[in-house]
Amino acid sequence: MELIIKNLTKSFAEKEVLKNINFTFEEGKIYGLIGRNGAGKTTFFNCINEDVEIDSGEILLNDEYQEHHLSTDDIGYVISTPTVPEFLTGREFLTFFLEINKDRLKEEKTIDEYFDLVKINKEDQDKLLRDYSHGMKNKMQLLINFIANPKVLLLDEPLTSLDIVVQEEMKEVLRKMKKDHVLIFSTHILELALDLCDEIVILNNKQLELIEKKNLNTKKYKDKIIASLKDDNNDK
């Protein structure tokens, strides 16, 4: 399975954010999408998710040797600030979500097994979601995407504000999810992407560029990337 981006261009008024992007993301890998704050990473995700209308180009899914346009069921989107129904408990929310997605489940698990997957403690499972910490809400957001089993999962800075323990727990869930999925993980923290991701993609000068991870382990190449990102920021 592949997510294929063809000639994608997007502008807002006179400001061009993405320019004629051509790129293919493959299943079974976590792609780290790196770029400065404001480089267009969220815009790129919003184009894939159809939250904004693209100016030109196509976004296709090659699934079982047949290309077709993405549907809403194909895409999951995890954002940095999680939105959950705070009037429900964690267990009520998970029970409801499992019921409405029962036809999409990859395998049968109990509710407790799902909680264990993202390490939500038993004493927290029956608390109202409004009383969950930011990290716990983010875990629930990731969990429902795991359950919904989208073919393409977009992750927009989901780990940046979390403590190191929760980061490591969520990284492990993502590593389990990458099989049979296309995962794109957006971050402006290079070290985080290097630790988690199989491939590194730079959004720079409105284009996507695949970078060899082995090159990023050298100071010379890191300095080159940082310099290019600074130049991109100065052009805005």
User: What secondary structure does DSSP assign to 124-139, as a single string?
Assistant: GTTSBGGGS-HHHHHH
d(CA 208, CA 90) in angstroms, rounded, equals 38
Q: Is the pLDDT of residue 58 over 60?
A: yes
Number of CB atoms found within 10 A of residue 131's CB: 11
Q: How far is CA 133 from CA 69, 81, 136, in A?
A: 37, 11, 5
Structure tokens at 9: 């261009």
Q: How much is the mean pLDDT over the chain?
A: 85
pLDDT in tens, 162-185: 778 878 888 888 888 888 899 999
The pLDDT, as a whole number, for residue 234 is: 44
**Average pLDDT for 218-223:** 67
**Average pLDDT for 68-76:** 87
Q: What is the maximum span of the chain, computed from C-alpha positions, in angstroms?
A: 52
Pair 209, 218: CB distance under 8 Å: no
All structural domains of the chain: 2-234 (3.40.50.300)
Q: Is the pLDDT of residue 158 over 90?
A: no
d(CA 77, CA 154) in angstroms, rounded, equals 5
Q: Which of 7, 66, 39, 6 minimizes the C-alpha distance to 231? A: 39
pLDDT in tens, 114-154: 898 888 999 999 999 999 988 889 889 888 888 888 899 99
Q: Is the pLDDT of residue 232 over 70?
A: no
